[in-house]
Amino acid sequence: MNKIGIIGAMELEVEELKSKMTLSNIRKKAGMEFFEGALNGAEVVIVRSGIGKVNAAVCVQILADDFQVTHIINTGVAGSLNAKLDIGDILISRDALYHDVDAVIFGYRLGEIPQLGTREFPANERLAALAKTSCERVNPGVHAVIGRVVSGDQFISKKEVKERLISEFQGDCTEMEGAAIAHCAFLNHIPFVIIRAISDKADDSAQVEYPVFEKAAARHSARLVEDMLGELK
Ligand code: ADE
């Protein structure tokens, strides 16, 4: 049977899912609480990882080692890098990569970790397709795009930085965990998808937009994840 690990970096990204699940157990490790149980007919482990790449990677490794999850879904919010993605819209990962890795001096591409053999971490195509279908079902009117997540340990809020992430990496959204989740899932051969609702435009307006829209955006993403679980039991 499938066991789905669901990760949100912040409480507001997982609180709705946790409130709807049938809880069987809570296990604590590395400062995180892993909520085991069932949601929409699927066996799940729901966890708030904390913010940033290291928290995200540690979380995935625990889901792999201690819970033997078969799939990983990352739900949350992101800044838009794509003019077609407005606040409240949804980006579903085709792939994810780091925007803050630089070993160019040794001949690697910007964003590529040396000796790993890949810069992009491809998401599972079936999970991405399921997410798109679920979005059409539960968030009608919300525009959903399958595209590229670019991640780093930075909140992007300057136009020049945003433009660099678009020109260097062709990113569709930016956030602070997705590529680390993808990287760790890749190392452990676990299929994953990242689902991010847009909370801001990752430019000079982000500081004002983000606090206004983060909660509604997080809810869009969580509602979609709940629906998807019906297909993953
Ligand atoms: N999460 C939501 N918006 C973001 C942004 N602009 N930069 C990084 N992470 C984010």
Q: Write the DSSP assignment of 43-108 as a string of letters.
A: EEEEEE--SSHHHHHHHHHHHHHHH--SEEEEEEEEEE-STT--TT-EEEEEEEEESS---GGGTP
What are 49-58's pLDDT values in tens digits? 999 999 999 9
Atom of ligand 1 nearest to the CA of 200: 3
Closest residue by Cα to residue 94 from 45, 131, 42, 136: 131
* Annotated catalytic residue 16: no
Return the amino acid letter for 97.
Answer: L
Which residue of the set 13, 112, 120, 209 is catalytic? 13
Could you tell me what percent of the chain has a pLDDT over 90? Answer: 91
Regarding the beta carbon of 134 and ligand 1, being less than 6 Å apart is answered no
Instruction: Report which DSSP code applies to 156.
Output: -
Strands 173-175 and 71-80: antiparallel
pTM over 0.95: yes
- CA distance from start to end of the chain: 7
- Nearest residue by C-alpha to atom 1 in ligand 1: 78
What are 74-105's pLDDT values in tens digits? 999 999 999 999 999 999 999 999 999 999 99
CA pair distance 99, 123, nearest whole angstrom: 17
CA 28 / ligand 1 centre spacing (Å):
27
CA pair distance 209, 96, nearest whole angstrom: 24
Regarding the beta carbon of 192 and ligand 1, being less than 6 Å apart is answered no
Q: Judge contact between 16 and 6, C-beta under 8 A.
A: no
- CA dihedral 220→225→226→229, nearest 10 degrees, is 160
Regarding the beta carbon of 80 and ligand 1, being less than 6 Å apart is answered no
CA distances from 32 to 27, 50, 191 (A): 8, 8, 22
**Spacing of C-alpha 18 from chain mean position:** 17
Could you tell me what percent of the chain has a pLDDT over 70? Answer: 100
- The answer to whether residue 6 scores a pLDDT higher than 90 is yes
CA pair distance 201, 229, nearest whole angstrom: 29
Mutate to test the pocket of ligand 1, among 199, 208, 220 (most ligand atoms within 8 A of CB): 199
* Annotated catalytic residue 13: yes
What are 18-51's pLDDT values in tens digits? 999 999 999 999 999 999 999 999 999 999 999 9
Regarding the beta carbon of 151 and ligand 1, being less than 6 Å apart is answered no
Atom of ligand 1 nearest to the CA of 176: 9
CA 174 / ligand 1 centre spacing (Å):
6
Regarding the beta carbon of 175 and ligand 1, being less than 6 Å apart is answered yes
